[in-house]
Amino acid sequence: MGEAIGLRPDQVHVAFLPQLGCETCRVTGLRIVTGFDLPGGGTLTLDEVQAQLPDDLLGSSIMAGFRLALTALRRWDRLGVGPGVLTLPLAPGALADGFLVQEMLWELDRQNIEPWRIEVEFLEPEGGDIDRLRVADGVQTLSRAGCRIAMGGFGSGGAPAEMLHALGVSRVRIGRRFVAHCDSRASQQQMILPILALAQHLQLETLADGVATAGERAFLTQIGLGAIQGRGVLPVLSGAAIDDILLGQRGVRPLAIPLRNAG
């Protein structure tokens, strides 16, 4: 599919999905949304096409978007309004690519960005033991380098606490399956509240994804979640639109967030 529609890394653009802190009601992080500008007009997100892309194009596209996002982060930091973290979602196949993982760390160093400013979000792989081992190695390499690690699909009957600890997971994402209609359906509340309690027991930060309505947002904000994201919070936005939000909520006074080795 990638070759058929002529996708290339130089067509990559990035947008951002804001993450709102439930205590502060401010943007505390941004999820990177990588996409392609199509030759005939329109766009596709990487999520929509990554399963059909050859490995080399997938890796180069991920890196093209990552570079653009880091450049935006540096600019926000210089303005004194930089968000706490950028969340980069990575499929198991990308995390199993040792070269791609090292290239990401090299790019962080090249752009003088501290690794803790990046949160890598992953889903537990569904393949065999070799895939799981390679993914675990990629996650642990990023964690040891200082990147934050988030796991999606929490509460779906997955990873034991020992695995979360071994992989350096510090935040879990509670998905739309549990978030949908949580403000009005007791059955949803009976699922999401124990999941939240388990995360708190394991001392993991939490984020609710796929928040679609004002009612869901209000309920999730009140029950003790750390952050929320989704179209019911704020939509996916361009870098220019993020400028306006960050400048509006924090002002233009520098916040003294230093860039490592910046000259």
Decide if 98 is inside a domain: yes
Distance CA 67, CA 46 (A): 15
Q: Please tell me the predicted confidence (pLDDT) of residue 42.
A: 85
* Confidence class for position 1, pLDDT limits 50, 70, 90: very low
Decide if 218 is inside a domain: yes
pLDDT (average), residues 130-145: 90
Tens-place pLDDT, residues 208-242 = 999 999 999 999 999 999 999 999 999 999 999 99
Distance CA 176, CA 3 (A): 32
Decide if 260 is inside a domain: no
Q: Please tell me the predicted confidence (pLDDT) of residue 146.
A: 97
56 vs 127 pLDDT, higher one: 56
Residue 100 belongs to domain spanning: 9-250
**Per the structure, how many domains does the chain have?**
1
Decide if 2 is inside a domain: no
Report the amino acid identity of residue 74.
Answer: R
- State the CATH number of the domain containing residue 61: 3.20.20.450
Residue 122 per-residue DSSP state: E
Q: Please tell me the predicted confidence (pLDDT) of residue 53.
A: 87
Q: Please tell me the predicted confidence (pLDDT) of residue 126.
A: 61
Decide if 127 is inside a domain: yes
Tens-place pLDDT, residues 34-69 = 999 987 778 899 988 888 888 889 999 999 999 999
Q: Please tell me the predicted confidence (pLDDT) of residue 262.
A: 42
* Confidence class for position 116, pLDDT limits 50, 70, 90: very high
Report the amino acid identity of residue 241.
Answer: A
* Confidence class for position 256, pLDDT limits 50, 70, 90: very low
Q: Count CA atoms within 13 Å of residue 256 on its CB side.
A: 0
Decide if 262 is inside a domain: no
**CA 233 to mean position of chain CA atoms:** 16
Candidate from 61-70, 127-136, 201-210 with smallest mean pLDDT = 127-136
The tokens for 102 are: 């090292």
Residue 114: is it exposed, middle or buried by C-beta count within 10 angstroms (0-12/13-18/19+)?
A: middle
Q: Please tell me the predicted confidence (pLDDT) of residue 158.
A: 60
Q: Please tell me the predicted confidence (pLDDT) of residue 97.
A: 94
- Give the list of residues 6+ apart from residue 220 with CB closer than 8 angstroms, or none: 22, 179, 182, 208, 211, 228
Decide if 261 is inside a domain: no
